[in-house]
C-alpha cells in the first residue's frame, strides 16, 4: 500500500534530478533514466499483485484528504504505462543524440510519466485535473522540443486547444463542487447517486436545475477529456502535435498520453463518478464511431509516415471509446483490450517510423522504398505492428477487434459493428500502403549505403514486436479475467468503488459530510 | 493435447525455424522442408485414419475432425507435399532466398491444416487470416509489380477476413456458441442470421476467388513464384474457401432459396465472365489464373443447388480442380523455366523438347475443359445434374445451366489456344537451352495427371463413393441412395473408356500407316518468290482469339474491363479517395476553425443531452 505514492514520486524525482546531471556525463543521465523506468516497470508489476486498496495522502482519510486508489483498472493502466515507458526509454538515448539538451528532455519526459501515473491513481477530482495539467504541459513543451518552425507551430496549436480542454474540465469540476460540496471522486459518486444522478430519460430530481447543472458538467467532461483523447471533432491538434514531437515522444503521446488523460480519465469520471446512462453511452459510441471513420479516411491519404500514424491514432481511439461506450461488460473488456494493444503497436509503429527517419532523414513514404533489405529489424517489426493494427491474425489487434465486433453485435448495435469492420479494412489498406512504399519493393539507389539502427533502438522495437504477439494471450480466459475482467468490474461496479474508498458505512447515504 | 494439433504445429514450428535459419544452411533447407511437408502429410493421414478425440479446453471444443474436414486436411497435406517437392526441383540456388520461401510455404501449410481441423470459429478465423500473410510475402519478392499485387491480394483477403469476423459475431449471437461443427442449422430469419450467412459466404467466395472478389487471383498468378501459385491460389485457397462455403450451406445455417439462387447466379456469372476474360489473355500464367476463377463458379454452383448430387459434384469439382489446375501451373512453370517466357506469343513447339510435361499438360487441359473420361467431365456432369435437380427454384436453373455449359465450351476453346501456342506449332526463335524439368518436377506433374485419369474413369466408384460421400457422412439428405436417384442419364464411364481406347488405337494405326507414305517437304513459292518457312508456318494461337474481342457486343465489355470498371477493388479505392479528399479539405490547418469545431461539438452534445433529459423542452 505504501508503494502507491512511489509510483508518482519516483518519476517526479527523476524529472527534477536528471537536469542536474552535468552535461559531460550524459551517459549517466541515460543510465539513470533507464534505471528509473525499470524501477517504475517493476513497481507496476508489484502493484499488479497487490490487493485493491487506497492510500490516504498525509493520513487524511477520504473524503477530506486526497487519496490514491488502486483497483483493477488502475493496475492495468499502470502496467501499460510503466512497461511501455520502459521500452521507449530504452529507445531514447540513441535516438535523442541528434537533439541538444537530452537532460531537459528526460526531465520533461518523466514529468509527463509522473502526470500520467497520477491520473491513473488519483481518487480526487481536483487532483485529477492537476495531474492532467502536469502531463499536458510537459507534453506541450516536448512537442516543440525540436524548436523548428513547424514543431513550434504544432506545439502552440496543441497548447491552445489543450487549454480549451483544461478550462472545460476545470469548469466541470467547479460546477460539481459548487453543487455537491466535495471533490473526492468516491464521495461525489455517492452524492450524485443519492441525488438520482443523470437518471433515466426524464426529470428524476425534484429540482430541474440541479439536473441541468449535472448535465452541463457531464458535457464539459465529455468534451474536455474527449479533446485530450482526440475524439472527432475535438481531434484537430493531434495530427500536428504527434508527428512534430521527437519520435520517443510521439510514441508516448499516441501510445499512452491520449489513453490515460483522455480515455481512462473519461471512463473513470463517467463510469465511477457520474454514472453512465444510455444517453451518455450513445454519445460516447457516436463520438467513437465518428473518430474511427474520419480518422481512417484522412489517414489513408497521408504520405508523411508519422502523420499517417497520428491519424490512425484518432481512428483507433474511436474503437476504444466505441467499445467502452457500449457499457456492457464485454464491451468494456474489449475496449480495454484494444487500449492495451494499441498501447503496444502504435508506439512500435512510431518507433519504426523514427528509425527510418533516423537513417534516411525523411518521413515521406514515397521517398523510401525497399528498406527491408537494409533495415531488416525495422522492416520486420514494422510489418508485425502493421498487421497488428490492421487486425490480421495472429497478432493482438485481431483479437481485440473481434471482441469489439462481438460486443457490438451482442448489444444489438449492428451499424457500429459494420463501421468497425469497414474501418478495419481501410486500416489494412493504409498499412499495406506503408509497407509497400517504405519497406517492400526494389531498394532505391540513394539508400544503398544506409544500415540498421543502433542495437538499443532495435532491441526496443523487437521487444514491442514480441509483445504484439504475446498480448494475444489476453484472449485466453485466465489472463483475460485477471487483467481485463478485474479492470472492467472496477469501472462498471460503481458502488464497489465508493465502498472501497469510503468504507461500507458511507455507502448509499448522504451522511458523510454531516458527520464532520 | 490431441493428435490434431500436430499437423498445425509441426509445419508452423519448422517454418519458424526455417525463417531463422542461418545463411550457411540455405542449401539444405529445401530437403528439410520436403521432409517436413512429407511428415505433415503423414500426420494428416494419421489424423484421418485414427479419428482422434477432439481437443477441448475449458469445455470448449477447439479442434475436431469430421468427414468434410478430413477431406480438406488430406487435400492440404497432399498438395503441399507435391508442391514442396516441385519447388525443390524448380529453384536453382540463388533464385530465391530459401529461408524466406520455404518458411512461408510451411507457414501456409500449417495455417491451412488449421482451418481444416478448427472447430471453433475464432480459431478458424485466426488460421484463415494467418494464411494471408505468407501469400503476401510470397508474392512480394522484390519487384515493383509484385509489390503492388501483394498489396492488393492482402487487402482483398484481409478485408474479407474482417467481414468474416462480422459473420462470426453474428453466428455467435444467433447460436450462443462458436462451435461450427455442431449442426446448428440456424434458420435465416433474424437480422443476425442474415448477417452471418452473407458475411461468411463473402469470406468463403473471396478466399476461393469467385467474382466479384476474384481480381487478386489472376494478378497473383502472374507475379508469384509458380510453385507458390500452384499451391496457394490454385489448390489450397480453393479447398478452404469451398470448405467454408459447404459448411455454411450444410451445417451452420438452413439456407433459404433466395440465398441459393443468388449464389447460383454468382457461380454462373463467375464461370462465364472469367472464362471470357481468360480467352483474351496473352500471358500464360494470367490466363490460367482467370481459369482458376472460372472453375470456382462450378463449385459454388454445385453447392448452391443444395441437391445431393449438386453438392457432391461441387465438392468433387473442388478436388478435381485442385488436381488439374495445379498440374497446369506446374507445367506452365516447367515451360517457363525452359524458355524464360510467360507470353504465349513467344513460346511454341515445346512438345518436342519436353514430351512428358506435354502429356501432363494435355491431360490436365482436357480435364479442365470437361472432356470425358477425365475427372473434370465427371464432376461437371454431376453439377449439371444438380442444377437440373434444383428445378424447384424457378426458371433460374435454365439460365444457370446454359451458362455453365457455355463456359465449359469456352474453356476448351481457351485451352486449345494454350496447347497450340505453348507446346505445338513452331518454336519462335532459337532459344538458349534452359533446363529440362528434372525428376522432382516431373513426378508431381505426372502424379497429378494420373489422378485426373484415375478419378475420371472411376469417378463414381472411387471419387464419389470412396472420397466425397464419406466426407459428407452425417449430412441429411446426402447419401449414396440420394446421389444415385438424382444422377439422371448416368453415363457409363467404363463403356466410354473402352470406346475411347479403341479410338486411340485406331488413331495410332492410322498414324503408323501414314508414316509409310511420307509427305514430300519442299520450299514453298509465293508469287514466284521463296516464302520463308517461319512466316508460312508460324500461326500464333493468340491472333485468332483477338477477333473475339472485336465482336460488337463484347467489344465494349472488354474495353470496360480493361478500364477496371468491373474491378470491385478499384471502384472502392476510387470512392475512398474521393471521401478522403473531401475530409482533408476540412482540415485546413487554421486554429480558429479547430477551436470552432470544439465549441460546436460542445453545443451539439449539450443540446442533445438536455433534449434527451427533457430539460430543454421545459426551459423554453
Provide, rounded to the nearest whole percent, the portion of chain B with pLDDT above 70. 86
Question: Would you state the pLDDT for residue A44?
Answer: 92
Question: Would you state the pLDDT for residue B523?
Answer: 66
> Which chain A residues have a beta carbon less than 8 Å from that of B162?
391, 401, 421, 424-425, 428
> Does residue B166 belong to the interface with chain A, where contact is any CB pair within 8 Å?
yes
How many angstroms from the chain centroid is the CA of residue B567?
A: 18
Name which of B68-77, B255-264, B336-345, B587-596 the model is least confident about: B336-345
How many angstroms from the chain centroid is the CA of residue B315?
A: 13
Could you report the per-residue pLDDT of B549-577, keeping only the tens digit for each? Answer: 677 677 777 777 776 666 777 888 888 88
When pLDDT is cut at 50, 70 and 90, the band that residue A508 belongs to is very low
Q: Prior bond to A233 cis, omega within 30? A: yes
Measure CB to CB from residue A283 to each of B146, B151, B608 and give the nearest one. Answer: B608
Higher pLDDT among residues B38 and B307, named by residue: B38
CB A421 to CB B162 under 8 A?
yes
Higher pLDDT among residues B283 and A227, named by residue: A227
* Contact indicator for A420, A323 with CB cutoff of 8 Å: no
Residue B431 has pLDDT above 70, yes or no: no
Mean pLDDT (whole number) for A327-356: 92
Report the range out of A249-253, A390-394, B401-405 with the highest average pLDDT: A249-253
Report the range out of A78-87, B74-83, B335-344 with the highest average pLDDT: A78-87
The number of C-beta contacts closer than 8 angstroms across A and B is 186
Cell of B219: 494478378
Q: What is the ipTM of this complex?
A: 0.87
Name which of A403-407, B369-373, B523-527 the model is least confident about: B523-527
User: B603 to each of B599, B611, B617, how far by Cα in Å?
Assistant: 6, 12, 16
Question: Would you state the pLDDT for residue A502?
Answer: 85
Mean pLDDT (whole number) for A443-457: 84
Mean pLDDT (whole number) for A439-458: 84
Q: Which ranges constitute the DSSP H helices of B1-97?
A: 6-20, 29-50, 67-90
Enclosing H/E stretch for B526: strand B525-526
Question: Would you state the pLDDT for residue A510?
Answer: 44
> Does residue A227 belong to the interface with chain B, where contact is any CB pair within 8 Å?
yes
Question: Would you state the pLDDT for residue B70?
Answer: 86
Residue B55 has pLDDT above 90, yes or no: no
> Does residue A427 belong to the interface with chain B, where contact is any CB pair within 8 Å?
no
> Which chain A residues have a beta carbon less than 8 Å from that of B147?
436, 440-441
Residue B601 has pLDDT above 70, yes or no: yes
Specify whether the backbone of A369 is left (phi greater than 0), alpha (psi in -120 to 50) or beta. left
List, as ranges, residues 177-196 from B with C-beta within 8 Å of A.
191-192, 195
How many angstroms from the chain centroid is the CA of residue A4?
A: 20
Name which of A59-63, A109-113, B105-109 the model is least confident about: A59-63
How many angstroms from the chain centroid is the CA of residue B288?
A: 11
Mean pLDDT (whole number) for B167-187: 83
Residue A83 has pLDDT above 50, yes or no: yes
> Which chain B residues have a beta carbon less than 8 Å from that of A219?
602, 605-606, 609
Count of positions (residues) in chain A: 516
Question: Would you state the pLDDT for residue B279?
Answer: 82
Higher pLDDT among residues B521 and B189, named by residue: B189
Domain limits of chain B? 294-504+535-550, 568-619
> Which chain B residues have a beta carbon less than 8 Å from that of A160?
591, 595
> Which chain A residues have a beta carbon less than 8 Å from that of B142?
370, 440-442
B36 SS3 class? helix
Mean pLDDT (whole number) for B359-372: 84
Query: Which residue in chain B is spatially nearest to A165 when comparing CA positions?
Result: B598
CB B126 to CB A219 under 8 A?
no
Report the range out of A12-16, A436-440, B449-453, B506-510 with the highest average pLDDT: A12-16
State the nearest Cα–Cα gap between B345 and chain A, in angstroms: 28
Best of A169, A338, A425, A431 to substitute, by most chain B Cβ atoms within 10 angstroms, is A425
Best of B59, B104, B125, B166 to substitute, by most chain A Cβ atoms within 10 angstroms, is B166
When pLDDT is cut at 50, 70 and 90, the band that residue B178 belongs to is confident
Question: Would you state the pLDDT for residue A119?
Answer: 94
User: A191 to each of A176, A180, A511, A512, how far by Cα in Å?
Assistant: 10, 7, 10, 9
Mean pLDDT (whole number) for B409-438: 73
When pLDDT is cut at 50, 70 and 90, the band that residue A206 belongs to is very low
Residue B340 has pLDDT above 80, yes or no: no
Higher pLDDT among residues B203 and A60, named by residue: B203
Percent of residues in chain B assigned helix, strand, coil, to nearest 5: 75, 5, 20
Query: Which residue in chain B is spatially nearest to A384 when comparing CA positions?
Result: B133
Higher pLDDT among residues A97 and A266, named by residue: A266
Question: Would you state the pLDDT for residue A202?
Answer: 43
> Does residue B585 belong to the interface with chain A, where contact is any CB pair within 8 Å?
no
State the nearest Cα–Cα gap between A375 and chain B, in angstroms: 15
Residue B274 has pLDDT above 80, yes or no: yes
Could you report the per-residue pLDDT of A141-181, keeping only the tens digit for each? Answer: 999 888 888 889 999 999 999 999 999 999 999 999 988 88
User: A474 to each of A348, A446, A480, A492, B407, how far by Cα in Å?
Assistant: 19, 43, 5, 20, 50
Report the range out of A483-492, B186-195, B415-424 with the highest average pLDDT: A483-492
> Which chain A residues have a beta carbon less than 8 Å from that of B172?
406, 409-410
> Does residue A20 belong to the interface with chain B, where contact is any CB pair within 8 Å?
no
Mean pLDDT (whole number) for B367-392: 81
When pLDDT is cut at 50, 70 and 90, the band that residue A515 belongs to is very low
Higher pLDDT among residues A352 and B28, named by residue: A352
Name which of A105-119, B29-43, B519-533 the model is least confident about: B519-533
Residue B85 has pLDDT above 50, yes or no: yes
When pLDDT is cut at 50, 70 and 90, the band that residue B434 belongs to is low
Identify which of A389, A388, A379 has the alpha carbon closest to the alpha carbon of residue A310.
Answer: A389
Q: What is the 3-state secondary structure (H, E, C) of B134-171?
A: HHHHHHCCCCHHHHHHHHHHHHHHHHHHHHHHHHHHHH
CA B451/CA B459 separation, integer angstroms: 11
Q: What is the 3-state secondary structure (H, E, C) of A138-192?
A: HHHHHHCCCCCHHHHHHHHHHHHHHHHHHHHHHHHHHHHHHHHCCCEHHHHHHHH
Name which of A297-306, A385-394, B304-313, B524-533 the model is least confident about: B524-533
Name which of B22-26, B168-172, B244-248 the model is least confident about: B22-26
CA B278/CA B291 separation, integer angstroms: 6
Provide, rounded to the nearest whole percent, the portion of chain A with pLDDT above 70. 95
> Does residue B587 belong to the interface with chain A, where contact is any CB pair within 8 Å?
yes
Identify which of A336, A311, A379, A380 has the alpha carbon closest to the alpha carbon of residue A471.
Answer: A336
Name which of A27-41, A313-327, B479-493 the model is least confident about: B479-493
Question: Would you state the pLDDT for residue A309?
Answer: 92
CA A66/CA A60 separation, integer angstroms: 7
For residue A455, the tally of other CB atoms under 10 A from its CB is 11
Query: Which residue in chain A is spatially nearest to B146 when comparing CA positions?
Result: A441
When pLDDT is cut at 50, 70 and 90, the band that residue B430 belongs to is low
Domain limits of chain A? 279-475
When pLDDT is cut at 50, 70 and 90, the band that residue A427 belongs to is very high
Cell of B487: 444422377
Which of B317-350 are b and which e, b meaning 16 or more Cβ less than 10 Å from the residue's Cβ? bbbbbbbbbbbbbbbbbbbbbbbebbebebbbbb
When pLDDT is cut at 50, 70 and 90, the band that residue A136 belongs to is very high
> Which chain A residues have a beta carbon less than 8 Å from that of B610?
212, 215
Amino acid at each position: 500500500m505504501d508503494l502507491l505514492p512511489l509510483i508518482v514520486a519516483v518519476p517526479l524525482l527523476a524529472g527534477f534530478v536528471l537536469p542536474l546531471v552535468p552535461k559531460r556525463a550524459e551517459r549517466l543521465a541515460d543510465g539513470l533514466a533507464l534505471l528509473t523506468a525499470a524501477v517504475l516497470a517493476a513497481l507496476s508489476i508489484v502493484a499488479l499483485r497487490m490487493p485493491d486498496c487506497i492510500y490516504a495522502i498525509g493520513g487524511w482519510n477520504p473524503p477530506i484528504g486526497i487519496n490514491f486508489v488502486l483497483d483493477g483498472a488502475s493496475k492495468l493502466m499502470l502496467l501499460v504505462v510503466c512497461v511501455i515507458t520502459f521500452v521507449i526509454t530504452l529507445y531514447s538515448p540513441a535516438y535523442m543524440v541528434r537533439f541538444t539538451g537530452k537532460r531537459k528532455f528526460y526531465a520533461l519526459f518523466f514529468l509527463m510519466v509522473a502526470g500520467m501515473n497520477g491520473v491513473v491513481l488519483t481518487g480526487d477530482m481536483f487532483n485529477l485535473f492537476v495531474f492532467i495539467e502536469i502531463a499536458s504541459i510537459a507534453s506541450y513543451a516536448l512537442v516543440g522540443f525540436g524548436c523548428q518552425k513547424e514543431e513550434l507551430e504544432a506545439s502552440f496549436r496543441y497548447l491552445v486547444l489543450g487549454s480549451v480542454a483544461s478550462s472545460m474540465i476545470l469548469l466541470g469540476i467547479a460546477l460539481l463542487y459548487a453543487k455537491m460540496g466535495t471533490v473526492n471522486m468516491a464521495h461525489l459518486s455517492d452524492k450524485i447517486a443519492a441525488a438520482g444522478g443523470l437518471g433515466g430519460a426524464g426529470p428524476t430530481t425534484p429540482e430541474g436545475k440541479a439536473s441541468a447543472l449535472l448535465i452541463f458538467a457531464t458535457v464539459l467532461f465529455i468534451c474536455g477529456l474527449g479533446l485530450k483523447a482526440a475524439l472527432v471533432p475535438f481531434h484537430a491538434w493531434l495530427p500536428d502535435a504527434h508527428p512534430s514531437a521527437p519520435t520517443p515522444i510521439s510514441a508516448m503521446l499516441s501510445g499512452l498520453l491520449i489513453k490515460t488523460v483522455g480515455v481512462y480519465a473519461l471512463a473513470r469520471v463517467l463510469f465511477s463518478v457520474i454514472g453512465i446512462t444510455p444517453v451518455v453511452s450513445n454519445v460516447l459510441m457516436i463520438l467513437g464511431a465518428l473518430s474511427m471513420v474520419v480518422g481512417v479516411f484522412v489517414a489513408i491519404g497521408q504520405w508523411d509516415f508519422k502523420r499517417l500514424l497520428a491519424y490512425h491514432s484518432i481512428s483507433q481511439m474511436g474503437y476504444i471509446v466505441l467499445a467502452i461506450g457500449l457499457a456492457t461488460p464485454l464491451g468494456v473488456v474489449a475496449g480495454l483490450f484494444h487500449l492495451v494493444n494499441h498501447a503496444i503497436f502504435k508506439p512500435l509503429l512510431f518507433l519504426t517510423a523514427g528509425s527510418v527517419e533516423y537513417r534516411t532523414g525523411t518521413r515521406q513514404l514515397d521517398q523510401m522504398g525497399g528498406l527491408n533489405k537494409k533495415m531488416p529489424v525495422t522492416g520486420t517489426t514494422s510489418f508485425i505492428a502493421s498487421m497488428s493494427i490492421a487486425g490480421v491474425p495472429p497478432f493482438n489487434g485481431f483479437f481485440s477487434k473481434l471482441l469489439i465486433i462481438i460486443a457490438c453485435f451482442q448489444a444489438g448495435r449492428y451499424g457500429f459493428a459494420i463501421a468497425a469492420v469497414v474501418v478495419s479494412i481501410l486500416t489494412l489498406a493504409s498499412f499495406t500502403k506503408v509497407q509497400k512504399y517504405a519497406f517492400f519493393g526494389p531498394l532505391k539507389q540513394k539508400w544503398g549505403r544506409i544500415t540498421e539502427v543502433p542495437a538499443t533502438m532495435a532491441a526496443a522495437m523487437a521487444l514491442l514486436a514480441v509483445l504484439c504477439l504475446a498480448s494475444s494471450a489476453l484472449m485466453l480466459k485466465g489472463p483475460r479475467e485477471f487483467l481485463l475482467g478485474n479492470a472492467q468490474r472496477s469501472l462498471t461496479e460503481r458502488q464497489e468503488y465508493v465502498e472501497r474508498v469510503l468504507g461500507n458505512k458511507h455507502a448509499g447515504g448522504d451522511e458523510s459530510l454531516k458527520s464532520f | 493435447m490431441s493428435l490434431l494439433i500436430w499437423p498445425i504445429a509441426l509445419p508452423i514450428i519448422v517454418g519458424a525455424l526455417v525463417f531463422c535459419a542461418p545463411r550457411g544452411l540455405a542449401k539444405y533447407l529445401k530437403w528439410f522442408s520436403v521432409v517436413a511437408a512429407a511428415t505433415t502429410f503423414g500426420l494428416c493421414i494419421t489424423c484421418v485414419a485414427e479419428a482422434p478425440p477432439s481437443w477441448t479446453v475449458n469445455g470448449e471444443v477447439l479442434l475436431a475432425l469430421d468427414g468434410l474436414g478430413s477431406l480438406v486436411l488430406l487435400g492440404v497435406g497432399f498438395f503441399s507435399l507435391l508442391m514442396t517437392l516441385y519447388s525443390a526441383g524448380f529453384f536453382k540456388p540463388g533464385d530465391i532466398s530459401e529461408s524466406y520461401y520455404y518458411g512461408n510455404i510451411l507457414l501456409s501449410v500449417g495455417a491451412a491444416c488449421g482451418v481444416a481441423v478448427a472447430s471453433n470459429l475464432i480459431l478458424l478465423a485466426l488460421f484463415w487470416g494467418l494464411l494471408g500473410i505468407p501469400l503476401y510475402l510470397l508474392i512480394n519478392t522484390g519487384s515493383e509489380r509484385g509489390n503492388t499485387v501483394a498489396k492488393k491480394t492482402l487487402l482483398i483477403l484481409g478485408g474479407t477476413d474482417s467481414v468474416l469476423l462480422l459473420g462470426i459475431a453474428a453466428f455467435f449471437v444467433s447460436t450462443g456458441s462458436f462451435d461450427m461443427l455442431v449442426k446448428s442449422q440456424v434458420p435465416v430469419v433474424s437480422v443476425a442470421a442474415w448477417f452471418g450467412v452473407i458475411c461468411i459466404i463473402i469470406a468463403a467466395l473471396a478466399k476461393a476467388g469467385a467474382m466479384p472478389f476474384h481480381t487478386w487471383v489472376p494478378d497473383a498468378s502472374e507475379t508469384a513464384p509458380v510453385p507458390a501459385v500452384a499451391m496457394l491460389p490454385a489448390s489450397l485457397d480453393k479447398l478452404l474457401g469451398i470448405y467454408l462455403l459447404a459448411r455454411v450451406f450444410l451445417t451452420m445455417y438452413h439456407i433459404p432459396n433466395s440465398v441459393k439462387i443468388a449464389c447460383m447466379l454468382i457461380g454462373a456469372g463467375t464461370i462465364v465472365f472469367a472464362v471470357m476474360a481468360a480467352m483474351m489473355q496473352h500471358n500464360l500464367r494470367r490466363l490460367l489464373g482467370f481459369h482458376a476463377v472460372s472453375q470456382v463458379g462450378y463449385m459454388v454452383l454445385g453447392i448452391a443447388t443444395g441437391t445431393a448430387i449438386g453438392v457432391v459434384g461441387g465438392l468433387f469439382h473442388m478436388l478435381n480442380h485442385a488436381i488439374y489446375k495445379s498440374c497446369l501451373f506446374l507445367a506452365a512453370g516447367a515451360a517457363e523455366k525452359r524458355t524464360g517466357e510467360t507470353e504465349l506469343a513467344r513460346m511454341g513447339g515445346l512438345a518436342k523438347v519436353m514430351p512428358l510435361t506435354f502429356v501432363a499438360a494435355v491431360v490436365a487441359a482436357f480435364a479442365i475443359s470437361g472432356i470425358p473420361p477425365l475427372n473434370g467431365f465427371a464432376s461437371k456432369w454431376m453439377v449439371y445434374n444438380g442444377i437440373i435437380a434444383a428445378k424447384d427454384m424457378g426458371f433460374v436453373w435454365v439460365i444457370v445451366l446454359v451458362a455453365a455449359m457455355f463456359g465449359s465450351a469456352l474453356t476448351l476453346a481457351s485451352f486449345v489456344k494454350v496447347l497450340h501456342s505453348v507446346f505445338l506449332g513452331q518454336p519462335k526463335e532459337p532459344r538458349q537451352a534452359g533446363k529440362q524439368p528434372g525428376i522432382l518436377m516431373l513426378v508431381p506433374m505426372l502424379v497429378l495427371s494420373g489422378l485426373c485419369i484415375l478419378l475420371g474413369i472411376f469417378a463414381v466408384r472411387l471419387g464419389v463413393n470412396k472420397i466425397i460421400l464419406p466426407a459428407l457422412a452425417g449430412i441429411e439428405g446426402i447419401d449414396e441412395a440420394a446421389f444415385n436417384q438424382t444422377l439422371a442419364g448416368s453415363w457409363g464411364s467404363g463403356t466410354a473408356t473402352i470406346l475411347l481406347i479403341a479410338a486411340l488405337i485406331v488413331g495410332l494405326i492410322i498414324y503408323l500407316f501414314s508414316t509409310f507414305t511420307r509427305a514430300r517437304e519442299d520450299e514453298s513459292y509465293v508469287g514466284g518468290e521463296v516464302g520463308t518457312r517461319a512466316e508460312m508456318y508460324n500461326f500464333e494461337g493468340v491472333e485468332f482469339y483477338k477477333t473475339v474481342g472485336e465482336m460488337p457486343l463484347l467489344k465494349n465489355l472488354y474495353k470496360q474491363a480493361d478500364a477496371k470498371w468491373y474491378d470491385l477493388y478499384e471502384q472502392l479505392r476510387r470512392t475512398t479517395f474521393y471521401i478522403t479528399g473531401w475530409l482533408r479539405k476540412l482540415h485546413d490547418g487554421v486554429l480558429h476553425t479547430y477551436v470552432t469545431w470544439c465549441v460546436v461539438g460542445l453545443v451539439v452534445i449539450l443540446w442533445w443531452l438536455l433534449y434527451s433529459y427533457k430539460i430543454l423542452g421545459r426551459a423554453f
